[in-house]
Chain A
């Protein structure tokens, strides 16, 4: 781009869009077919990894996506960046429907939609130098920055806290945290508006995790980036994302801003997740409620009828098996706080502040 460097995303988009969502996902479904037969394969079922979820991400906002492994959070991230083809629903990015865009035209859309991957060891090509890795997205998109590709790549290395002289090194010469920084530099190369970060810190050491989280936060502030932050560490998500969505077996079961979600969760599953997080505080550990879920997540091939969480829920009743609870805002709950449960609750799990006892009812 020959225009000014580092345009904040809000300015790049029209001002009228700022109130709207940058990314809008509606009833997104990703099903993986299960086939049987040798010559004539017929579909005998489907793994319903993501089964009808809707959410939006505003420009400059960070939405956290949490849940157990197998709940479909990574699949969601991949469907949004179109690394996977959605089975149903729509994905709108920057006012444009990208649900079934062709590969070639998707490339231009991806200029604004980048991804940071979980494993910094397998997401960088070991045969390419750091410089090549960071420059490739620019070259593929025909972007010729002022001063050339090399200068821009070195600038990016500096932004993510690496030495620009490392331009000619190979990924194997770097530690895990440094590699993740290279991955971040690559994602930033095209000055995206939204970055899908799929467990960006879970492969790193605790002390390095904090460095990378701080880096991402600085970048978000500096460039006005929006994030879809996928992680299973609830404390990291709380630290990084203003809004958090909890997924269970391909569905969003609860979504709210972080204060509300962490202090007044309504879905039993959110409760269970929060109470399972081990905390360092040697005094506080005893007075926290402990909920232990039994068993494993059911198979997404044959999800339970009605509410998908009912097989592990201690509150489940007949209605939970027959009717699927819709994701709705409940009476008396904070704005934008939605939960999908027939028997939601209002109880404090971690909160330190005093909350008014809000009466909540589903029907």
Chain B
């Protein structure tokens, strides 16, 4: 699928890919001003593929995912742009139509399973509810289905555990129950919002394996939202890097992680310690903190934290917003940075020789 370079697309025809988000904008009016949480984000995703959305808190990654589920309907949020899912447009869809899709076609794994599960109902009945509603199934059928799902996600003694309440489950098991709940209707698009952030590495590895296995089995499209580049590298096909509610880099996992083009992506990669890294070397954090979404810095939103902006002539970084441009030698990889290819090659050479 080709990527549109202009943020405004006037194409009203349903796209050929399974999910296509075009120029999505989610703005929240507040007393202090308009918070532009998501500002012109586009991406596409085929069935059976995984997209990783990476960014700091406040970069708009969770807001993007909530709009895919239509969860901004009824709030004060102003949602613009288009979301095409399997030939249907979601932004303009009514709440009742959206309800028909939620859980059945699109479903979501939330970050914190303890607050996403209802403490008052047993785990089994919460899982069964979605199935009962969407498939007009009897209570008994739905219950059987719930037990089957609990078994699929690897919970021992599913018949007994279905009657348990969320507080009786451990953190990893709750997350599994959440996954069972989101998969009970075999959704075609699964959104996982930081599914493993609250979990230990061993459980995280189990959950990632589980998502991968289930994806292979059902052929669903998966969007995984995380700030852990390691998780993305492990599970995704494509990566979308967001900063200040905008895309700054987008491409396949290999492109983005092997030859990142945006200084922010470099920063993210350099700021985390690696298991095989040199311990004597200091971590290289990104200075400063994420920008305010009400008053994004002019020009490139990353420019106050960027250490390479002097290398761009005429202070373009602070004046002119960089466009997302295709990276040479790759069909899919795009990045929004004023630095030229020669500059980047030079910086990379400097970085590698400095590391040695």
Contact = CB atoms under 8 A, between A and B. Distances in A.
A205 B208 contact: no
A217 B268 contact: no
Nearest to B173: A296
A213 B270 CA distance: 13
A285 B276 contact: no
A197 to B, nearest CB: 15
Contacts of A217: 282
Contacts of A276: 201-202, 204-205
B212 to A, nearest CB: 12
A68 B203 contact: yes
Contact of A278 (B171, B173, B231, B271): B231
Contact of B276 (A232, A293, A350): A350
B200 A278 contact: no
B313 to A, nearest CB: 27
B274 interface: yes
A277 B229 CA distance: 11
Interface string B229-261: 111011000000000000000000110011000
Interface in A298-319: none
B56 A206 contact: yes
Contacts of A278: 201, 204-205, 208, 228, 230-231, 233-234
Interface string A87-108: 0000000000000000000000
B271 A210 contact: yes
A210 B171 contact: no
Interface stretch (A42-50, A110-118, A127-135, A233-241): A233-241
B200 A69 contact: yes
Interface stretch (B119-127, B134-142, B285-293): B285-293
A274 interface: yes
B290 A205 contact: yes
Contacts of A335: none
A207 B271 contact: yes
Contacts of A210: 271-273, 283-286
B56 A296 contact: no
A275 B230 CA distance: 13
Interface of B: 56-57, 154, 156, 170-173, 200-206, 208-209, 227-231, 233-234, 253-254, 257-258, 267-269, 271-277, 279, 282-287, 289-290
6 contacts: A208-B285, A239-B277, A262-B275, A282-B254, A282-B257, A292-B205
